[in-house]
Amino acid sequence: MIENGWPRTAAWIDGELRVGGVGVRELAAEFGTPAYILDEEEFHARCAQWRQALPDGEVHYGGKAFLCPEVVRWLDEAGLCLDVCTGGELAVAVAGGMDPARVVFHGNNKSLAELRRAVSWRVGCVVVDSFAEIERLAALADEAGVRQSVMIRVTPGVEAHTHEFIATGGEDSKFGFSLRAGLAAEAVRLVLAAPSLELSGLHSHIGSQITDLGGFTLAARRMADFLLAAEREHGVTIPKLDLGGGLGIVQRPGDPLPPRPAELVAAVREVLPAHVRLAVEPGRSIAGPTAVALYEVGTVKEIPGVNTYVSVDGGMSDNPRPAMYGAAYTAILASRSSQAPAREVTVVGKHCESGDVLVRDLPLPADVRPGDLLAVPASGAYQRSMASNYNHVTRPPVVAVRDGAARAIVRRETEEDLLRLYA
């Protein structure tokens, strides 16, 4: 078993990386590269870890991390609910067999069509994010003759120690209603005044890739205080507090170990009122460590005294995160063993951008050569879901591995798929 962010079945056997009992050379031969290799056993185990940590609460998997119909079926089997943030994610949830009543619908700018679909499909809860949305949703629910359950998204003014692009709990955010400015209190009044809406809880989310519980507990304390104040003011009971997701993962050696789900739950429960049901929305912490991105080396370009560039057959189209906000990864030579001394290289993609860099300052054997396979761990979250067709590159498949068997749960995109879109 390999540690530091690799799936639990990852092992180095006979000079080759194996995941789920399948060697990477066999996977590359059958499914091609680039490819995301997803350890099904790891995914199920991480779902179970969250379910066990919160048996009397709600665990909503954050679908934006990675979603496909097969994953929806796994979530259903594990007893997890699902959060989505677009009509497209909602459609995938339903296609995978998830009961819409177990879906929470997020988003800061849901369209009228998306809200109408949520109401007509009887989505379990809509997280309202603006005054305009409260008004629209109330009208749609009234028109349909139903009472729609909602949570109010609150920005608690907690700055998570993460990159500014994935920090969402501060005052200056496009998400939610400001606690400090009194907007959250006004949102509570508007929802309670709408006969077609039912206030089932409050929601906050402070950011992503967080490894310190301090931000979670501070947000929980502020949200609990606000919840109790709203209950006193209006003479109601608000039964649920959803603290979102954001728990980090190990992406490379030396990264801090994140708290375990049970530790997070224990920490925030200390500050919650006894009657409040806790909900969480883990995405990355479930999907992230489950997958390995597999690439083939195409060229090795050495600039004496400057750098050595190892170019692979993917790049920013299948992992935009390093270019977007400096996400740091590691990689290993996965298809063979080598006794050559290590040298630092830069692993880059095939796209027409100087910023198309996957891994910087990576020690690889000095004899790395075209045809070698490189494996990048912690690739299960926000890679396939954020993948693009930049330079008209087709998106890779997702291959689930378990007990020595492999199957594509998302097939490789083809050029025919791209051309089909053109008039």
325 is in an annotated binding site: yes
Same domain, 19 and 136: no
Task: Kindly report the pTM of this predicted structure.
Answer: 0.94
Answer whether residue 128 shows pLDDT above 80.
yes
Q: State the CB neighbour count (10 A cutoff) for residue 79.
A: 13
Same domain, 254 and 298: no
Cis previous bond, 273, omega within 30: no
- DSSP letter at 412 equals P
Which residues of 43-196 form beta strands (DSSP E)? Answer: 58-62, 81-84, 103-105, 125-128, 148-155, 177-178
Q: How confident is the model at residue 166 (pLDDT cuts 50, 70, 90)?
A: very low
3-state SS, residue 409: strand
Domain boundary among 217, 252, 282: 282
Domain boundary among 282, 305, 327: 282
> Residue 316 is part of which domain span?
11-38+289-419
pLDDT score recorded for residue 163: 38
- How far apart are the C-alpha atoms of 175 and 152, rounded to whole Å? 11
Phi, psi at 62, each rounded to 5°: -75, 95
Answer whether residue 162 shows pLDDT above 50.
no
232 is in an annotated binding site: no
Same domain, 293 and 270: no
Residue 284, both tokens: 């990355």
231 is in an annotated binding site: no
Residue from 117, 109, 112, 119 nearest 142 by CA:
119
331-375 pLDDT, tens digit per residue, is: 999 999 999 999 999 999 999 999 999 999 999 999 999 999 999
Answer whether residue 179 shows pLDDT above 80.
yes
246 is in an annotated binding site: yes
DSSP β-bridge partners for residue 23: 18
Same domain, 319 and 371: yes
Same domain, 113 and 260: yes
Could you tell me which residues come within 8 angstroms of residue 284 by beta carbon, excluding any fewer than 6 positions away?
Answer: 62, 65, 208, 209, 245, 246, 247, 248, 249, 381, 382
Which class for 193: exposed (0-12), middle (13-18), buried (19 or more C-beta within 10 A)?
A: exposed
Residue 50 within any structural domain of the chain: no
Domain boundary among 220, 249, 282: 282
Residue from 16, 13, 7 nearest 46 by CA:
7
DSSP β-bridge partners for residue 177: 154
382 is in an annotated binding site: yes
pLDDT score recorded for residue 279: 98
pLDDT score recorded for residue 3: 64
**Considering its fold, how many domains does the chain have in total?**
2
Same domain, 295 and 247: no
Could you tell me which residues come within 8 angstroms of residue 398 by beta carbon, excluding any fewer than 6 positions away?
Answer: 35, 36, 38, 66, 68, 291, 384, 408, 409, 410
**Percentage of residues in the chain having pLDDT higher than 70:** 96
281 is in an annotated binding site: yes
Q: How confident is the model at residue 160 (pLDDT cuts 50, 70, 90)?
A: low
Phi, psi at 81, each rounded to 5°: -90, -175
Same domain, 341 and 232: no
Q: Which residue has the higher pLDDT, 216 or 2?
A: 216
Catalytic residue among 81, 85, 125, 352: 352
Q: How many angstroms separate the most distant Cα atoms in the chain?
A: 73
Domain at 170, CATH number: 3.20.20.10
CB 242 within 8 A of CB 204: yes
| CA 101 to the chain's CA centroid | 21
395-411 pLDDT, tens digit per residue, is: 999 999 999 999 999 99
59-101 pLDDT, tens digit per residue, is: 999 999 999 999 999 999 999 999 999 999 999 999 999 999 9
Domain at 294, CATH number: 2.40.37.10
For the chain, give the mean pLDDT. 94
- 125 belongs to the catalytic site: no
User: Span 319-329, mean pLDDT?
Assistant: 94
pLDDT score recorded for residue 170: 53
Answer whether residue 169 shows pLDDT above 70.
no
Residue 2 within any structural domain of the chain: no
Same domain, 234 and 303: no
Q: Which residue has the higher pLDDT, 208 or 164?
A: 208
DSSP 197-259: EEEEEEE---BSSB--HHHHHHHHHHHHHHHHHHHHHHT----EEE----B----STTPPPPP
Residue 226, both tokens: 């606000």
Same domain, 166 and 295: no
185-207 pLDDT, tens digit per residue, is: 999 999 999 999 999 999 999 98
Same domain, 153 and 274: yes
